[in-house]
Amino acid sequence: MLLEIDHHSGVPIYRQVIEQIRQQIMAGQLSEGEQLMSVRELAAQLRVNPMTISKAYALLEVEGLVERRRGVGLFAARLRKNKKAHTRARLLEEVLRKAAVTAVQLGIPEEKAREMLVRLYRKYDSKTRSHSNE
């Protein structure tokens, strides 16, 4: 498991941890049931206080993405395929909802909003593919 923290981005450390672990789980890079690095281990790697990691883990558990077992460790939750797809859809819906509200408020036609999304999707999709070959 590789995480990178940008201490100068302004984004809180615990949120960076959450986002990166969430994506690794959602993208299948972390197998279900697999044990994650311990609080202290990850804290040492990132040169950060253990409580900061513990907080990130706690919020990931609320999301249902990991299971914490005191004295044992932290494990990627075993999600049903349905659950996994559902979680993905929920995460996407959050951001798409904001976009939809904005479009409606500004009086931008559905078609134009749709085209803009597709253009942006393809832009980032191609970026991702090129990165995966590095």
Partner DNA sequence: ATTACTGTATTAGCTACTTAATACAGTATA
Partner DNA sequence: TATACTGTATTAAGTAGCTAATACAGTAAT
The span of 45-53, 57-65, 69-77, 106-114 binding its own copies (CB under 8 A) equals 106-114
Whole-Å CA distances, 78 to 67, 70, 95: 9, 18, 25
Least distance to DNA, CB of residue 62, Å: 11
Which of DNA, its own copies, none sits in contact with 27, Cβ below 5 to 8 A by type? its own copies
The span of 23-31, 36-44, 76-84, 92-100 binding DNA (CB under 7 A) equals 36-44
Sequence letter at residue 121: Y
Which of its own copies, DNA, none sits in contact with 39, Cβ below 5 to 8 A by type? DNA
E strands, 53-95, in order:
66-69, 73-76
Q: Does 9 bind DNA (CB under 7 A)?
A: no
What is the x/- site pattern for its own copies, positions 17-36, by CB under 8 A? ------x--xx---------
Closest CA to 74 of 59, 93, 89, 86: 59
Residues 78-98 as b or e (16 or more Cβ within 10 Å = b): ebeeeebeebeeeeeeeeeee
Closest CA to 54 of 100, 12, 17: 17
How distant is the alpha carbon of residue 126 from its chain centre? 20
Contacts with DNA, residue ranges (CB under 7 A): 10, 12-15, 36, 38-41, 48-52, 54-55, 57-58, 68-74
Contacts with its own copies, residue ranges (CB under 8 A): 23, 26-27, 88-89, 91-93, 95-108, 110, 113-114, 116-118, 120-125, 128
